[in-house]
Structure 1
Amino acid sequence: MSQSLNLKGALQQPVVVLQGLVLPVILLVLWQYNSGLGSSHAYAFVPLQNIYFAFLQLLETGELWLNTWGSLKKAGLGFLLGSTAGLILGALLAYSKVFNALVSPLFNSIRQVPLLGLTPLIALWFGNGEEAKIFIIALASFFPLVINTFQGLSHYDEKYSEVARMYRFSFWHEFKRIRLPQALPHILTGLNLAVPFTWITTTASELLFNAGAGLGNLMMKAEINAEMDILLVCA
């Protein structure tokens, strides 16, 4: 009986994978069909073979590697700085009522402002170089970590605190053995949210501050030169 169930599950798995490929294949076919309807359509819907050849060209010249590495470096550094600062601030907000009362109103006000709306001010502070991009990227990962760390550390089962007091746990012992394990799912959720925000903001910051290596910079050059195939490779 168990063998038949295992066989059924093994047969269903490829079917599920194939079902997931149906819509992408249909979209690719429609895209290729539209690209053959005329020059105006071919500009908006670049033929798939042109995109493939542009990809190979970028690989050969090394532009794709150089700009991808440039984007990954900025994204990694911004994510590290932003998430670390977010963890620290979230913990301080959860543990100190005085600090929470002082900082929380300002924090909640700033996080309502769209990140890209801060670019003029950031450009004034940091210029148009790498520092400005990294600062915006750090902010993208900062806010999800603050909110989720605060929620994880401030909402916990009180009975565990009673146990900690009974056994006279130190602050760090209680934090390590009780608070942190309970907060970990919230923190991981914050990190999960921060990763896509970080990558999207990386490309957006490169489009806004068009200097240095990065996929956003390569996309901007491709748009200026009307090289839609290269733009789609970078996207």
Structure 2
Amino acid sequence: MNDVSMGVPRGTFTAIMGPSGSGKSTFLHCSAGLDKPTKGRVILGDMPLASLNEEQLTEIRRERVGFVFQAYNLLDSLTVADNVGLPFRLAGAPVPADRVRTELAGVGLADMGERYPGQLSGGQRQRVAIARALITGPDVIFADEPTGALDTRTGKQVLQLLRGIVDRTGQTVVMVTHDPVAASHADSVTFLADGRLAGELTGPTPEKVADRMTRLGEW
């Protein structure tokens, strides 16, 4: 990344796009406190992440940030309900069973709590991952190619769920994607190329996003 300066407004859905090697994953990892930038600063809400030690960063990631990945990152040995409550167990805190049930109902899996990830479809597993990301009431949810392993219909359901989270709760979603259709669910799309900002698009449609992607070299 090189001279990247941008802000993500609270309560919005932002998509990050760019070709392979453009810096999308680096941007996401630095924004989420998974990696530290070699220079510059990252501020989450009112918290400058660069000033925190690893223990403090772990606490921030556990309480104020939610993660949704393409590979789901569920533990096959735990039930769906236990996977959703895992952030509390890792923090050494009691798991709020009512909240787990509420989050599962919110993603359409109210009756799946006692099943195991291996008994679910890909779309259902991704919904479990979203419920786990929401369980602590984070400031922002970072989604890295959340529909990359899903078929078109299931991917659309997951995107509608992410869109609904922003619209209903006012939480913030930042999503890395290569798919113009996925990006069209966002409020705006930020483009990266060669580690630099390469423009922004508000009110995205699949056609507008695809056209901009073909013209990134002009930036």
Bin for the TM-score computed over the shorter chain? under 0.3
Larger Rg: 1
Question: What TM-score, normalized to structure 2?
Answer: 0.24
Q: Higher strand share goes to which structure?
A: 2
Give the TM-score normalised by structure 1: 0.23
